[in-house]
Amino acid sequence: MTSSLNRFLPKEALPGLLLMGAMLAALIVANSSLSTWYDRLLDVHAEIRIGEFGIDKPILLWINDGLMAVFFFLVGLELKREIMAGELSDRRKVVLPLLAAIGGVALPAGIYAWINRGNSLALSGWAIPAATDIAFALGVLALLGSRVPVALKVFLASIAVIDDLAAIIIIAIFYTSQLSVGSLLLATLFLAGLFVVNRMGVTAKTPYLLLSVALWVAVLKSGVHATLAGVAVAAFIPFRPSKKPGPDGDTLLEDLEHSIQPWVAYGVLPIFAFANAGVALKGLTFEALLQPVPLGIAAGLFLGKQLGVFGASFLAVKAGIAKLPDKVSWTHLYGVSLLCGIGFTMSLFIGGLAFEQSGGQS
């Protein structure tokens, strides 16, 4: 991961700034005379049809179910690479970020659940403050330049990767609607196809692309959130040297990861932010911000994240289970624990799933 970080660090501030710009643009548009246009744009239906089979969805759902599947595919590629050959492949190095990530997921969720206890509708959003936005967090860290130890950036990236894995598991278990057995069986068939292609040593992109699209459609129709198809596909992308290495890596996984990363950072995530952050603020009062749901999210992200990440790390080091990364102080670690409280992308995504399913407003 260190070499990968060194390669992308000079550019890491820009994705975070783009996300922030897209979020602000959405807020401005949603609270101006353009708000009607904004709502109508996201509600425009687009259909893809092949013969009698077709998918008809509003633009908002094409973004959340389609484009975000590409984001989850990239997350899956990063997870596989880190587990097989990166920071997460060394048990000694993975202990500290693993425990920090667990603390950073459990405590924010617990704080939110405690504040919203007794309200079953609000409790459906318990996982919203459990996520960390790696683009924002690494972007802020990158703005500090050489004053930040490389090991600290690796530590933050490791936490974010584990955090994303936790979010994927949470979505799969807790935010899945009614299931279609037939579509699930079809999805299983396409997964088996990906397994066979992988075991045959195929490193060409076309077979994986065709099976990936078919799997996404099957998962979309199954009731499981379609974005999880991206993670499933990533698990079968070969991490072995290709006969014809791509321009961005010796393996198909590395080639795909490095070629997709700019599209996700500069396209998918800003589009997602613009489509989902347009909240009408008219009539919003200070009292409204102190209602259990926003208070639980804010307390979970600000207090829960820093206490969970820093507290778990402190206990692990003092107990001798783990040690601080090279040239990283407790002050550095506390700063990172604060950055982990930035939960924009995944928090918005989980919030949409939680309150869409429960019939509430996010």
Per-residue tens of pLDDT for the chain, all 362 residues: 545 444 444 455 677 788 889 989 999 999 999 999 999 999 999 988 887 778 889 999 899 889 989 988 988 898 888 788 876 677 777 899 999 999 999 999 999 999 999 898 899 999 999 888 766 777 677 667 667 787 888 788 788 778 878 888 888 888 876 778 898 899 999 999 999 999 999 989 999 999 999 999 999 888 777 888 998 999 999 987 655 555 555 789 999 999 998 998 899 989 988 998 888 887 777 887 888 999 999 999 999 999 999 999 999 999 999 988 888 899 999 999 998 998 877 788 888 888 875 555 44
| 206: CB partners within 8 A, 6+ apart | none
- Cα–Cα dist 299/301, whole Å: 6
Q: Tell me which DSSP letter residue 175 carries.
A: S
How many other C-beta atoms can be found within 10 angstroms of the C-beta atom of residue 192? 11
CB 157 within 8 A of CB 8: no
pTM summary value: 0.74
DSSP string across 289-301: HTSHHHHHHHHII
- Cα–Cα dist 236/245, whole Å: 18
- Cα–Cα dist 243/93, whole Å: 32
In this structure, whether the domain defined by 2-176+225-358 belongs to CATH 1.10.10.10 is answered with no
Domain positions in the chain are: 2-176+225-358
